[in-house]
Chains A and B, each alone.
Chain A
Amino acid sequence: MKQHSPPPRLSLRGITKQYPGCLANDDVHLDIAPAEIHALLGENGAGKSTLMKVIYGLVKPDRGEVLWDGLPIEVKDPAQARKMGIGMVFQHFSLFETLTVTENIALALGDDAGALDQLAEKIRTVSEKYGMTINPEREIHTLSVGERQRVEIVRCLVQNIKLLILDEPTSVLTPQEVDSLFITLRQLASEGCSILFISHKLNEVKALCHNATVLRAGRVSGECVPAEEDTTSMAKLMVGDDTPVSTTYPKKLGSTPLLCISDLNLHSDDPFGVHLKHINLTVNAGEIVGIAGVAGNGQEELLASLSGEHLCPDGKTITFAEDAVADLPPDQRRRWGLGFVPEERLGRGAVPEMSLTENALLTGFLSGLLSKGMVAWKKAETFADQIIDQYRVKAAGRHAQADSLSGGNLQKFIIGREIMQNPKILIAAHPTWGVDIGAATAIHKALITLRDQGAAILVVSEDIDELFLISDRIGAICNGALSPVKPTPESSIQELGRMMAGDFSQSAHEGSATL
């Protein structure tokens, strides 16, 4: 440490932000030095997003100050943040689909953009320098998710950038893409840029970051040097002492096919959709099959075909225990014993304006909540209360509107609603998305219990760690095609990563084994 070390590039002092019913940030302190890669760790709902919005001028803190290169400043809006040299890569991209890469970047640069053709040249140079080739002329809607993230990063790099904030940047990438992102970030930091890396993935933080600040329930629960910690100690900082952080579940393989998909092809009408190509999959009774994949590779289309939102003319394409169902609408599939947890919580998983009781009724009506065509409200209310109770849903009660719940709590409610109906087949998309570790563990346990009762479960998720934890067999979907599905112990993160990127080839000795 030098005697006169420069002031931190960014310093947060006592940031406090109160939302109605929720203290999002409580007296948060954070320092980032030039050229430092700093991790902001925390679970969903710990206050990471709010803090980063404060830095970027999207949210005004109630108390506390922000120091930039040692001087107190007030970041009024994102435009000012950008002028100061702060760039941000959002978790949900802030790109305009109908505009080209150059136009998108020109918009963010404001008046400094200059002529578009010169900017395009600059984009090419910068993107090649950092090993993230992109074609400036392409329109955003033609790009993959990984490419879109590159556009967001390059958008920050073409300016004079001093602090780059990345919000959960790896959640949309394959493991291989993550590696190359890290190379770019290290190069950037070595040139003096500070990086704030927001994540809840401990392994990534350990691999990349110099220092870490851990948030729990809005407060700083600890600071550490990730390289010197093990993941368990960091996880404890994130979730507190009383929550178990690692569990393993015994793997099982079923033998009686319950859910069969044979040669499912689907032509998507959506211009941003993916066509499904020759999907074959069997899920046996008593096992969990996990499908990994980067968002937008056909998961949505596959799920719609399974739920019955999209019908196939040939009923035999999808069978539930030999019953052809591919041409049956959702209610008939549910009558058969299907439980379904869609990707979108508000709008498809639950009706935002309806109370929890009414939402419970929406799919629960088949399990005795109706009598002679009339709603048995008492039973529906009891059912809703049971879900709230068993899955520890934080809500103002069964009368609360679905959209008044936080994402994680609504997720718990929807999962609970489906599992408690004891489905024979359960299809769940991102079952623990946005849910804290304690609740995620509860959901995993419920899935395992359901499996042990003999249900066939298909989990589609972007969270590879989760899939390895709960799946008995695992595969990946890429660009509408499904990889071979193998028993989880025989697969590896590297292999799954290759499959997520579309390389379905088996490694050499396995290849010869099939000959």
Chain B
Amino acid sequence: MMRLPPFTYVAARTLAEATAALAEHGHAAMLVAGGTDLYPNMKRRQFEPRVLVGLRGIRELSGVRGSAREGVTLGAGTTLSTVAAHREIATHYPALATAAGLVSSPQLRAMGTIGGNVCVDTRCNYYNQSFEWRRAIGFCMKKDGDTCLVAPGSTRCWAVSSSDTAPALVSLDARVRLVGPGGERTVPIAALYRDDGIEHLAKTREEIVTDILLPPADEWRSTYLKLRRRGSFDFPVLGVAVAARLEGDVVRGARIVLGAVASLPRSAERAEAALIGRRLTPEVIATVADLAAGPSKPLDNTDFTHPYRKKVTRVFVARALRAIGGLDAGGSAVEEVA
């Protein structure tokens, strides 16, 4: 049986206790909320914290507050199943509800938190392996080694951002509140991410993501499409989040964000720009989809081949735009023989 390595567990009851514990134990400590990402990684000895600071007992971290009119605040400890099922979120921020509802399996959505998914470790199929496997192939730079096995000449780690909710939240222009020993700060969620497979979060070790803040929904529509092999369990190997604001049938605002094709959620800025002031015609959608596929630069370190993931980027962006525009998704298959 795969087992956890020993550690000391600090059950924090307040954020102050949690940040203090992090400060006290430094690199030896890690945060844990749902544990669905951390514990498998610990069992594979990808993480070896001596101290775990449990966030579960902190009341202020859970719950959904506010409304679409004024903006919604999600406590980072809110479970993914709660986010997926939340009526206000499903109605006004569908990209987020959809993304949260597509994370892993029902059990893991009941355990995992939105904060955990936002911070989920980057993945690579040379890295998410047991200690013995990694030792056999030669440890990579993300843990215990100094080379990159997917791009051997590389000086950086190319592990893949594998959050479903992150691209959705970026497309929704969400902000995150971070609380650390020196106080709190609120930043656009895009600023939480770094293009590095190892140090993929732009926050200090002592900082805790406490809330996710969604702006007023206004007239924004959004959607999220996920590519994976099976309808459950699997991490995204491509996620496409699109949010747009239309006046009549003219696009006034647009955000297209790609997940799981880089070490961070990747905005397709040229594609976004090409949408502004345009109608969602098939021609425009085709052009924008091509532009959006540009920044999709997957490498061969997830399920499916990377050329395939790139090809599907274009398809998914077009489909997301058609969905946003309320256009026929391209006809439906002829159903049962009558």
**A is bound by B:** no
Q: Which residues of B contact A (CB under 8 A)?
A: none
